Structure 1
């Protein structure tokens, strides 16, 4: 554990390492592939920080070079045209979109710069892992890990101890679980 030169007791194992397997987002996605397009209905349930529910209708081309998707939220009467994530560097992506709220009679645009790395004073990895259960049924898990790597220090002829270890910190969580059901034209 950490050296106690500052008079503090080292943190316990439970304080340094935590894994939360309760997802804050659960999505059910129903997709139908029709003539080069994917039409989808997304039911999105959020339980943190507030309990919330979104239903979305999504249309996007199936082509590999697709550049956009159209999203309509009937409960909020919002429509959005969103670009796919555009890679800026290996770990940095840009996404832009324009939208209109029929209930507010307002049109606007937004952009989002995202990375799988970075955090608040810690290193962060965010990723999605997909698992194909059978043809037409997939599960996707969104997870994150915030960490500080262990650190070893020491000194000879100084006021530092010969060997000192900071065991690091890890906070991992399963943030999102998606169940995706896809029906293609060839299926009955």
Structure 2
């Protein structure tokens, strides 16, 4: 893969004919999350009751509140979600593994503002993009009993590559520096009260 020639850098500057991209263009890490969640959970007789306060897009202060009810244990197959601001409630299945990195989730819901009933389905994976160049994952940390922090992160990357040729009209040695753009997308603070 040839090194970039011409074009523009991420700040809009025109790159020279043989000028390599800057380090900032190739490797970028964003540690300010775009989503902040505060989850309050109470466990009562095999059921978890939850209140989720979700903040998105800090530039426009998008906000969602959810009430969540789901059974505890390994055999949990469903959860009930009520969103009062959107006027919607749903019953969702747990994520059903279809392949090693592929899950299916289905649900039925009702929106009382629109007076509409419908069902939804979602295929999800921890691999995003083309399945090779992007990874999404979550990491959880228990700070102390009853308080957990979960961080959702994403990394988009292209591995560095060295190549060359002799007698083919191409350079003997050529290098692509690769690329890494990583970000923390979501931070969840989870308060759990067990009775």
TM-score above 0.5: yes
Q: Say if 2:61 is the partner of 1:51.
A: yes
* Structure 2 SS opposite 1:88: strand
1:105 match: 115
Return the alpha-carbon distance in structure 1 between the equivalents of residues 173 and 124 of structure 2.
Answer: 39
Which runs of structure 1 show a deviation greater than 4 angstroms over 4 or more consecutive aligned residues?
2-6
- Verify the 8 A CA contact 1:122 1:146 in the aligned structure 2: no
Q: Say if 2:151 is the partner of 1:152.
A: no
TM-score, length-scaled by structure 1: 0.91
Change (3 A) 1:44 1:158: same
* Structure 1 SS opposite 2:24: helix
Change (3 A) 1:5 1:37: closer
2:97 match: 87
The Cα shift of 1:164 comes to: 1.2
- Verify the 8 A CA contact 2:4 2:21 in the aligned structure 1: no
Q: What is the number of equivalent residue pairs in this alignment?
A: 185
Q: Say if 2:62 is the partner of 1:72.
A: no
Change (3 A) 1:87 1:103: same
Return the alpha-carbon distance in structure 1 between the equivalents of residues 183 and 160 of structure 2.
Answer: 20
Structure 1 residue runs of 5 or longer lacking an equivalent are none
Return the alpha-carbon distance in structure 2 between the equivalents of residues 108 and 125 of structure 1.
Answer: 31
Change (3 A) 1:56 1:4: closer
Q: Say if 2:174 is the partner of 1:143.
A: no
1:41 match: 51
2:33 match: 23
1:114 match: 124
TM-score, length-scaled by structure 2: 0.88
* Structure 2 SS opposite 1:14: helix
Change (3 A) 1:5 1:142: closer
* Structure 1 SS opposite 2:99: coil
Q: Say if 2:140 is the partner of 1:123.
A: no
- Verify the 8 A CA contact 1:99 1:109 in the aligned structure 2: yes
